[in-house]
Amino acid sequence: MEKDMILMVVLMMGMAIDTGWKVEAAKKVQWKMHTLFSVECQNYFDWQTVGLMHSYRKAKQQGHITRLLSCTDEEKKSYKGMHLAPTFEVPSFSNNPINGDWYPAINKPAGVVHWLKHSKEAEHVDWVVILDADMIIRGPIIPWELGAEKGRPVAAYYGYLRGCDNILAQLHTKHPELCDKVGGLLAMHIDDLRALAPVWLAKTEEVRQDRAHWGANITGDIYEKGWISEMYGYSFAAAEIGLRHKINDNLMIYPGYVPREGIEPILVHYGLPFSVGNWSFSKADHEEDEIIYNCGRLFPKPPYPREVKKLAIDPNRRRGLFLSIECINILNEGLLLHHAENGCPKPGWTKYVNFLKSTTFAVLTQPKYVTPATLEMMEDTIQEHVDHDADRPFPKIHTIFSTECTSYFDWQTVGLMYSFHKSGQPGNITRLLSCSDADLKLYKGHKLAPTHYVPSMSRHPLTGDWYPAINKPAAVLHWLNHANIDAEFIVILDADMILRGPITPWEFKAARGQPVSTPYDYLIGCDNELAKLHTSHPEACDKVGGVIIMHIDDLRKFALLWLHKTEEVRADRAHYARNITGDIYESGWISEMYGYSFGAAELKLRHTINSKILIYPGYVPEPGITYRVFHYGLRFSVGNWSFDKADWRDIDMVSRCWAKFPDPPDPLTLNHANEKNLQQNLLSIECVKMLNEALHRHHEQRDCPGAKSLSTLKRETEEEILISRKLGNLNGNFDSSVHKDGGIPNSFRISVIFLCACSALGFLLVIVMLCSGHKRRGTKMKHPKSRRRNMYPAYMGT
């Protein structure tokens, strides 16, 4: 009897635990939620749909998901992708039926209005999450867990919507003070969406028709085409009905951006081009891509995690790079599964496909969950008072450099980009590429760096003067006017530089109104009649150049003057003489440098001149200084060996597999008797070694043949797989103690083993008690055969 009572207690405890789980589960589904995204009948949206749907399942997003598919009747006749997602068909508004305006972005609010009005499913929904197709979900997006309330939706921050702060908002809403700069991720109550959606559509049409205010200075639209009218339609509609948002700048991230410490983004929005080392991706390059209908095709593979670890020292910057490769890897994983599900033959073995199918990759990309820091909202005040970077430890930086469409600049670009990633330089980098239309048609180096394309000014359109150096200020001005720049300080470099360490405004004391630069003492024109002729404030002329750290506000005021003064000095042929300019060639070649100094003087923009940032290889270093930049603009030598960039002007070092510069001497062979000469030579050797390392890495990534033996390649492949299996904390979200053979954290293994042991003991106890009871009654009982269970399901059927 006593044993029967024990059995009853055990059973009741089991029922209680089971009931508790059911209650907890009931709490989690107390509200029904639905995810929406809008697309059109195009290949461009089909591969994005495959990526989003795969990430939706992988992230275990709650509730159902619906694709709002906007297609014309003609498009539907040939459309092949109806099976790609749960779909609600929506009439296409791309071509406005009233005014004929071609604006596909309006399909988003139009699709939401149509779904609310005609979908039976919408009648049984409490919360809605609205996403864009070009997104990857990393973890569950649950509105109430993010802090959304009825009347207070949660949204991501779109800081570039400057029309909320100016005449645009005043024209298009009665409550401009309520305009929130939001978009991308929207999580709101269905009642709020029902009130908002028709106004969203109406305001989108209204803003779209306001062509007089499409200017970049009013809207922030760098293309000035009214393309972001739908985004303003949303913000103005919400302001119109008094719907204020809880604004979060942590939940969503663009690949290429650096997450702050402690932040775990759960949504990746790959709407902008991004790069990792020499590899880059832009969704715009795949507008007509039929990749989902071509068996075995994937997007170009990004670097492996092992390679990415070498590209950044700063842990947050490294996390940003890992997010970038994760985005594309999940897209490619989705494509693999899609091809398999649609009858494609099994792809042949490759190291990359093997990596995507590995248990390690499955563990590294399992669902992420928001941290307390991720849930922090921006200040709940009027947007113009929100300090977007208030809680960041340092201001954002963006590095730029200017080049042209020639092989000469291409190998310099490879060197600078490689050193940029090794140096730990914060922020993003952009190459300003000045090319004529004819050169651009033949140019092959598009993927060497994140690039902003600029019309060439080498041949001046007015004077016909051939002066390629003018492209530098012209390109900076073009970039400022056409790019969406999310940075407070800009670091300007030349292509013929190698970064040895980070260049930051906080270390070198740059500030608004006080740029930092390096000394160019040979600019003697600052001391004579040249400065008096070309600036109203010759006393403010600084002899600087090379490396420039400047606040974005100063650069916006200064850039046009820099260009104009360059043109002015270049035209002043009467003062090209060496005794006036310091130009040993007396050809006016350094007019751009004087354009910079005279433009800054005109604004009385005085520089902090720092001689500890830059050194020319071949110069004798000051003791104890760690220079951050090599500027290899001049010939330098070590013994009988020498290097001059001009000798390589017409040699294609980038397209020729395994091309490299002549190796400098081995440091062990140097004379160590003279410490100054030794340090001078070591720096020269380091510069060219870095260039050759960069070229070697570039050729490796191009899969150049023939430089390594098969045994070496096999060994490296085995090492890659081994490291892939051992790889731990990719996103800072897992226990660092990863087991060698399965990639499962030790703490998790111990917990599972403990639970299994307890379950087994409990089971044995019940069996013993039952057997004892039956034996007393003379009854025999057969023991059931034990069944082995796999602790984890096979990943993707492999």
- Angle, helix 552-571 to helix 591-602, in steps of 10 degrees: 130
Dihedral angle computed from the Cα positions of residues 452, 457, 459 and 461, in that order, rounded to the nearest 10 degrees: 130
Question: Would you say residue 174 lies in a domain?
Answer: yes
Q: Which three-class secondary structure state does DSSP give residue 69?
A: strand
Question: Would you say residue 563 lies in a domain?
Answer: yes
Q: Is residue 423 located within the same domain as residue 468? A: yes
Question: Would you say residue 711 lies in a domain?
Answer: no
Question: Would you say residue 716 lies in a domain?
Answer: no
Q: Sheet harboring 608-609: ordered strands across?
A: 451-455, 428-435, 397-404, 489-494, 544-551, 516-519, 608-609
3-state helix, strand, coil in the chain (%, to 5): 45, 15, 40
Domain termination residue (choose one: 325, 357, 383): 383
Per cent of the chain over pLDDT 90 is 72
Q: What is the H or E stretch that residue 568 is in?
A: helix 552-571
Dihedral angle computed from the Cα positions of residues 700, 702, 706 and 707, in that order, rounded to the nearest 10 degrees: -20
Pair 489, 547: CB distance under 8 Å: no
3-state secondary structure 254-281: CCCCCCCCCCCCCEEECCCCEEECCEEE
Question: Would you say residue 729 lies in a domain?
Answer: no
pLDDT at 391: 38
Residue 274 has pLDDT above 80, yes or no: yes
For residue 30, give the DSSP letter.
Answer: S
Question: Would you say residue 643 lies in a domain?
Answer: no
pLDDT at 784: 38
Residue 778 has pLDDT above 80, yes or no: no
Binned at pLDDT 50, 70 and 90, residue 315 comes out as: confident
Binned at pLDDT 50, 70 and 90, residue 272 comes out as: confident
Counted domains in the chain: 2
Instruction: Read off the pLDDT of residues 190-223 as tens digits, 9 standing for 90 and up.
Output: 999 999 999 999 999 999 999 999 988 899 887 7
Q: Is residue 302 located within the same domain as residue 415? A: no
Give the separation between CA 398 and CA 429, rounded to whole angstroms.
6
Name the more confident of 729 and 112.
Answer: 112
**Domain of residue 256, residue span:** 30-383
Residue 721 has pLDDT above 50, yes or no: no
The residue written with tokens 């970039």 in the block is: 479
Name the more confident of 379 and 524.
Answer: 524
Residue 513 belongs to domain with CATH number: 3.90.550
Question: Would you say residue 728 lies in a domain?
Answer: no
Return the minimum-mean-pLDDT range out of 340-344, 607-611, 755-759: 755-759
Name the more confident of 12 and 688.
Answer: 688
Name the more confident of 711 and 703.
Answer: 703
Q: Is residue 433 located within the same domain as residue 346? A: no
Q: Is residue 284 located within the same domain as residue 140? A: yes
Instruction: Read off the pLDDT of residues 620-660 as tens digits, 9 standing for 90 and up.
Output: 999 989 999 999 999 999 999 999 999 999 999 999 999 99
Q: Is residue 359 located within the same domain as residue 464? A: no
pLDDT at 794: 31
Two structure tokens written together for 159: 């800081």
pTM: 0.52
Q: Is residue 412 located within the same domain as residue 355? A: no
Query: DSSP for 283-327?
Result: GGGGTT--GGGSTT--PPPPPPHHHHHTT-SSHHHHHHHHHHHHH
Two structure tokens written together for 743: 């990639």
Pair 183, 156: CB distance under 8 Å: yes
Return the minimum-mean-pLDDT range out of 255-259, 293-297, 641-645: 255-259
Q: Is residue 480 located within the same domain as residue 597? A: yes
Q: Which residues contact 379 (CB under 8 A, 6 or more apart)?
A: 385, 386, 387, 390
Give the separation between CA 206 and CA 199, rounded to whole angstroms.
10
The CA-atom distances, in angstroms, between 562 and each of 107, 397, 554 are 44, 21, 12
pLDDT at 313: 80
pLDDT at 90: 96
What is the average per-residue pLDDT within 577-591?
94
Give the separation between CA 174 and CA 186, rounded to whole angstroms.
23
Residue 329 belongs to domain with CATH number: 3.90.550.10
| CA proximity to 434, closest of 415, 396, 394, 461 | 461
Give the separation between CA 139 and CA 522, rounded to whole angstroms.
57
Domain termination residue (choose one: 317, 350, 383): 383
Return the minimum-mean-pLDDT range out of 95-99, 409-413, 530-534, 705-709: 705-709
Q: Is residue 337 located within the same domain as residue 415? A: no
Mean pLDDT of the chain: 85
Residue type, 225: K
Residue type, 771: C
pLDDT at 13: 52
Per cent of the chain over pLDDT 70 is 83
Q: Is residue 312 located within the same domain as residue 343? A: yes
Q: Is residue 369 located within the same domain as residue 413? A: no
Instruction: Read off the pLDDT of residues 4-28 as tens digits, 9 standing for 90 and up.
Output: 555 554 455 555 445 444 444 444 4
Give the separation between CA 173 and CA 169, rounded to whole angstroms.
6
Give the separation between CA 256 and CA 317, rounded to whole angstroms.
9
Residue 608 Ramachandran class (φ > 0 left, ψ -120 to 50 alpha, else beta): beta
pLDDT at 8: 53
Buried b / exposed e over 576-598, threshold 16 CB at 10 Å, is beeebbbbeeeebbbbbbbbbbb
Question: Would you say residue 272 lies in a domain?
Answer: yes
Residue 393 has pLDDT above 60, yes or no: no
Q: Is residue 378 located within the same domain as residue 415? A: no
CB atoms inside a 10 Å sphere around CB 250: 23
What is the average per-residue pLDDT within 260-272?
92
Q: Is residue 298 located within the same domain as residue 326? A: yes
Angle at 90 between CA 84 and CA 96, to 5 degrees: 125
Strand pairing partners for 782?
none
| CA proximity to 651, closest of 408, 477, 314, 470 | 408
What is the average per-residue pLDDT within 530-539?
96
Binned at pLDDT 50, 70 and 90, residue 601 comes out as: very high
pLDDT at 785: 36
Two structure tokens written together for 169: 């908002």
Residue 236 has pLDDT above 70, yes or no: yes
- Whole-angstrom distance between the N-terminal and C-terminal Cα of the chain? 51
| CA proximity to 230, closest of 370, 45, 103, 87 | 103
Pair 72, 92: CB distance under 8 Å: yes
pLDDT at 99: 82
Domain termination residue (choose one: 584, 610, 636): 610
The residue written with tokens 């003018």 in the block is: 470
